[in-house]
Amino acid sequence: MTRVKGILTIVLCTLLLISCSATKEKVDAGEVHYILGVSYLRENNPTLALKEFLIAYNSEDSGRVHSGLGQAYQLKRAFKEAEEHYKAALRRDEDNPQFANNLAALYLDMGRWDAAIKYFNQAADNLLFTTPEIALTGLGVAYYQKGEYLQAIIQFEKSINLAPRFAQTYYHLGETYFALDKPDLALFQLNHAIDLSPAYAGAYYKRALTYLKLKNNVAARADFMRVLALVPDNEIGRLSKDYLRLLK
């Protein structure tokens, strides 16, 4: 009886070891595919990122994997799927400000300004968010899109107070002043953006338009040429080429 009991104990322990080993291998495999997914996102390859995150999801039904899936779907402009996964990420970790910020950014892409404001506020108000300037800038963009320019400026100024070297905030603040027909103030903010990020094609393009408004065609031409050198194949590159033809 003792021998039988001993054999049963050995079998049980062996099964437990196999189970633990298999679980560990599954977790390790999920981790590898999650890391690969993040790497592909950084390389701006959402298709391969999506493939890796879907494999990781088989091992790990977590907020971070759902967030990765949301980002991959968003980059592929599959907004419905992105929204589902961002919401799933928040359900698993409702206090994670990055997940709220990601969902808000998706709503910007979808043109759902009020929903974006709700989740940017949730992210910005979370004291554990390490980059609240991103949420505040997004909040300003949402108000800008609604035509609430003064509210947008308030949010951009809050962002600058927290992170005075975040170039995107200055760009969007310049864009807002441009919309308010204040080209001198727009130029001042756009200069800040370019000083902080010398390869910021969007800021050069908006500054070129500002120079046109200020009737400084020479400076506008120089900025359009800079845009064309930086991003010749995207929309603002093609528009810059058209403006350069007109400025000859």
The pLDDT of 62-90, averaged and rounded, is 97
Does residue 158 fall inside a structural domain? no
Does residue 38 fall inside a structural domain? yes
- Give residue 188's pLDDT: 98
The pLDDT of 211-215, averaged and rounded, is 97
CATH number of the domain that 65 lies in? 1.25.40.10
If phi > 0 it is left, if psi is from -120 to 50 it is alpha, else beta; for residue 107 that is alpha
Q: Residue 190: is its pLDDT beyond 80?
A: yes
Give the sign of the dihedral formed by CA 159, CA 203, CA 45, CA 85.
positive
pLDDT digits (tens, 9 = 90+) for 220-244: 999 999 999 999 999 999 999 999 9
Domain count, the chain: 1
Q: Residue 14: is its pLDDT beyond 90?
A: no
Does residue 89 fall inside a structural domain? yes
Does residue 84 fall inside a structural domain? yes
- Give residue 19's pLDDT: 39
The pLDDT of 185-209, averaged and rounded, is 98
Domain housing 33: 23-94
Does residue 201 fall inside a structural domain? no
- Give residue 18's pLDDT: 33
| Mean pLDDT for all residues in the chain | 90
Does residue 221 fall inside a structural domain? no
Alpha-carbon distances, residue 165 vs 124, 147, 152, 183, 246 (angstroms): 18, 26, 18, 22, 35
Does residue 57 fall inside a structural domain? yes
Q: For residues 72 and 189, give the distance between their C-alpha atoms in angstroms, rounded to a whole number.
A: 32
Per DSSP, the three-state class of 181 is coil
The pLDDT of 166-192, averaged and rounded, is 98
Does residue 77 fall inside a structural domain? yes
